[in-house]
Copies of this chain bind each other. A is one copy, B any other.
Amino acid sequence: MKQYEHPPAEAFLLTTILHALSDPYRLSIVQKLAVLQPQPCAPLQGNRPKSSVSHHFNVLRKAGLVRTVVEGVLHMNSLRNAELESRFPGLLDTILAAAAHSAECQGAE
């Protein structure tokens, strides 16, 4: 059962995080994870081919936003809330609050 690599919190880069969240689809994934956690990739897929979904989860993982744990067949994703909070206090919450004000992720199924 091979697992993923995740950067340690000390290695998080603000610009990488901002870049990861600057894509509407990735932002929508993070929004949905914020509501229900953990979740496998499938319900967050929304029409895209699996290879694209996989790519975007990779970007989120490398930025440190998402942790993925393999449990049987499912790859369960969660936000790295606590680590993000300790490294960049308030950042994720503020961005999620801003995203909630903003209609831009509606179509990002």
Near B by CB (< 8 A), chain A positions 30-72 give none
Contact digits for A82-108, partner B, Cβ 8 Å, 1 yes 0 no: 000001111100110111011010000
Number of chain A residues whose Cβ lies closer than 8 Å to a Cβ of chain B? 24
A15 partner, pick from B15, B22, B88, B89, beta carbons under 8 A: B22
For A19, the chain B residues whose CB sits under 8 A away are: 18-19, 22
Closest 7 pairs (CB-CB, A-B): A19-B22, A18-B22, A88-B98, A94-B94, A14-B102, A90-B94, A18-B18
A: which residues have CB within 8 A of B? 13-16, 18-19, 21-24, 27, 87-91, 94-95, 97-99, 101-102, 104
